[in-house]
Structures are given as structure tokens and as C-alpha cells.
Amino acid sequence: MTASKKKKVWLFKLGLRIALYSSLASGASSFLVLIIFSGLSLLNSFLAAFGIAILVLLISYFFNYKLQYNRLNKLEEISRNISKKRFAEYQDITTNYSDEIDYLVKHFVKSSRTIEREIQRLNRIENYRKEFIGDISHELKTPIFAIQGFVETLLNGALEDEDVNREFLKKTMRNVNRLIYLTKDLMEISKLETGELKSDMEPFYLYEVIHDVIDSLHHKAERDEVALILNDFDKNIQVKADKNQIKQVLINLIENGVKYNIKGGKVEIDVVNFKKDKNRVLLIVKDTGIGIDEADLPRVTERFFRVDKSRSRERGGTGLGLAIVKHIIEAHREQLYFDSKVNEGTTFKFTLRKVH
């Protein structure tokens, strides 16, 4: 026999107590009324009052049982489930008496749902924290061990050789820079992922921002022999967004377009009307680079995901750029689309709200 079945055959003690009090009260008052007004003998009055008391006891117990037992039982079941963290089992509780017990049941269910949501939220944060710390320590290890290796070799005698010496210091510097970028990106992504960084929405001219970004990346593109092309669009288009965050999105996308490209390749930037919503524009960053395999494509916005770890590392990549892009676009409640073909190129698109 299960615990709940066992419960059902038990006596409803509260109901019985209320019924007993009612029956005592009605028995005593009937006895008094009978003795004063009916002219019955003491014994007969007592027997009649006793009969009435028994009747009241049974009727009262029956109603108490019907009105309270099931719902109190439900409350007990809910609290037992909560203590076992089983929240889903009372999702469909309906109440139809609109009295204090119903009110209690309703509020009990409501509070347990709040507890459930809070537990889930805390679990999510905790999992995120664990994963994040795991990822960070993994990512920090590579440059730190590299620096340790170079410095050790230098200390073990390589310092004497001028050429080796310079080469190793350059490599050490590259890894130090990697650590600097990594910590900067980590701060940014953790703020974005926990929702700490709020977007500061303001209207601005899209052309100016895109122009600034292209200017800042011009040197890198030239060095890699990749052409940066901004196709014509209405210079008067204004959008409402966080200017610095959108700048960051464009930098990350265009930088990728350059970084994962080939010599003589190009990165084209377009701004067009968004067909699905006339209040929005679509920003397009399209490259003619190495492309991303179909199987890897859905994962590129995950933090620390890199298709080719060694190629990314060698170019200073930490695998956070697109995760930051995704979070910024989500925080703006805009859409991000991407598509790619290996050896043909990659296209990233995102929407922004226009200011009329």
C-alpha cells in the first residue's frame, strides 16, 4: 500500500473533532430545550438529545470530510512533493470552493512555482559559472604555459644567443597580448551573459560608425591583402542602438572576415532595407574567405568555439568574438543570420531598428 493510499483510510481527525464539538453543542442545547419546553422526562430528554447529538456528529463529520479532507490532503501532498523537489506533479490543480482552504491551496501552488523557477534560475547560473570557470582556466593555460616555456628556455642559456633571445621574447610578447585580449573579452562576455551590461540605446548615423570601424581595420586588412569594400547606401540612415556595442559587433564580424580569408580576398559591407520589417535595416558582412563547414556552423556563436583552434590561436583568436556578437544582438532584441560555404566564403547579417 502506498503512502497516499494508506492516508485515505485514516480517520479525518480534524473533521471528527469539529463534528464532536458540534454534536456536543447541539446535544446540550437540545437537552435544555427539551427539558424546559417539551415536558418530557429527564431520561427521555437525555435520550432524544443524545440521538440528535449522534445525528449531528455523523452529518457534521460527513460534510467536514467532503469539504476539507481532499483539499487538506492535497496540501499535504504538495508540501511533501516540494520537500522532494518534485514540482511538476501539481501543475493542474484546480480549486472550486473559493474559501480559505482554496486560497491556501492556490497560494501554496503559486509559491512552489516561484521556488521552482528560482531553483532553476540558480541552477542555470551555477552551471554557467562552473562551465565558465572551466573554460577560462583551459584558455588561460595555453598562453601561460607557452610563456613559461619561453622564459625557462631563455633562463637555461638561450639568453646568450641574440637571435634566439629576440625571437623568444617576441613569442612571449605575443602570448602576453593574447592574455590581455582574453581578459578583456572575458570581462565583456561575462557581463553580457549575466545581463549585467545594459545596452545604452541612442540614435546615430550608421554610415559614421561603419566608416570608423573600416578605418580602424584598414591596416590589418591591407597587411593580410584583403580588400575592405563598403558598398553605397543612404548616408542619412539613423538607427537606434548602443553605438559602442554595434561598433564592437561590426569589428568582430569584419575582423573575422579578414582573419579567415585568403590573400587577394575581400570583405564587403552592405546596408539594405530589411524585407520582413520596413522599420529595420539589414547590415551584411560578406567575405570570400575559407568558409565554415556546415557541421560547425551552428556552433560558431558558442563561446570558445573555434573551427580550427591552431589557426585561430596563431591569429590571436580566443573564440569569443561571435559569442559577444550574438549576445549584443540578442540584448538589442534584433536578429542575427549567418551562412557559409567552405572555400567560397561566409556571410553574417543582422538587423537594426531605423529612426525615421
Ligand X SMILES: Nc1ncnc2c1ncn2[C@@H]1O[C@H](COP(=O)(O)OP(=O)(O)OP(=O)(O)O)[C@@H](O)[C@H]1O
Q: What is the per-residue burial (b if ≥16 Cβ within 10 Å, else e) of 74-87?
A: bbebbeeebeeeeb
**322 counts as binding ligand X under rule CB under 6 A:** yes
Beta strand 280-287 with 238-241 is unpaired
Quick check: 290 binds ligand X (CB under 6 A)? yes
CB of 312 to Mg ion, least distance (A): 8
Residue with grid cell 598562453, as numbered in its chain: 143
Q: Which residues contact 99 (CB under 8 A, 6 or more apart)?
A: none
Of the candidate spans 32-40, 68-76, 200-208, 251-259, the one that interacts with ligand X by CB under 6 A turns out to be 251-259
Single-letter residue type at 185: D
Task: Give the E-state strand segments of the chain in sequence order.
Answer: 202-205, 227-230, 238-241, 266-273, 280-287, 336-341, 345-355
Half-sphere exposure of 262 toward its Cβ, with a 13 Å CA cutoff?
Answer: 9
**Residue 281 near residue 329, CB atoms below 8 Å:** no
Task: Using alpha carbons, list the distances in angstroms from residue 208 to 121, 219, 243, 316.
Answer: 40, 18, 10, 28
Shortest CB 5 distance to ligand X, Å: 57
Q: How far is the CB of 215 from Mg ion (least distance, A)?
A: 19
Q: Which stretch binds Mg ion (CB under 5 A): 27-35, 57-65, 316-324, 344-352?
A: 316-324
CB 353 within 8 A of CB 241: yes
Kindly state the smallest distance separating residue 286's Cβ from ligand X, in Å. 9
Question: Closest CB to Mg ion among 265 and 321?
Answer: 321
Least CB distance from residue 103 to Mg ion, whole Å?
56
Q: Is 307 in the site for ligand X (CB under 6 A)?
A: yes
Asked if residue 287 binds ligand X (CB under 6 A), the reply is yes
Which contiguous run of DSSP H or E holds residue 204? Answer: strand 202-205
By Cβ distance, which residue is nearest to Mg ion? 321
Checking DSSP bridges between strand 336-341 and strand 202-205, what pairing results, if any? Answer: unpaired
CB of 334 to ligand X, least distance (A): 18
Binding string, residues 174-193; x marks residues near ligand X by CB under 6 A: -----------x--------
By the 10 Å C-beta count (0-12 exposed, 13-18 middle, 19+ buried), 262 is classed as middle
- Pick from 312, 327, 328, 334 the residue near ligand X by CB under 6 A: 312
Min dist CB 317 to Mg ion, Å, is: 5
321 near Mg ion (CB under 5 A): yes
Radius of gyration for the alpha carbons in the chain, expressed in angstroms and rounded: 37
Which residue's CB is nearer to ligand X, number 206 or number 300? 300
Under rule CB under 6 A, residue 265 binds ligand X: no
Distance CA 308, CA 316 (A): 12
Q: Is residue 256 part of the contact set for Mg ion (CB under 5 A)?
A: yes
Size of the site for ligand X (CB under 6 A): 25
- Residue 192 cell numbers, joined: 553580457
What residue number has its CB nearest to ligand X?
Answer: 321
124, three cell numbers: 542555470
Nearer to ligand X, 153 or 248 (CB): 248
**Closer CB to ligand X, residue 42 or residue 180?**
180
- Binding positions for Mg ion, rule: CB under 5 A: 256, 321
- Binding positions for ligand X, rule: CB under 6 A: 185, 252, 256-257, 259-260, 287, 289-292, 300, 305-308, 312, 317-323, 346
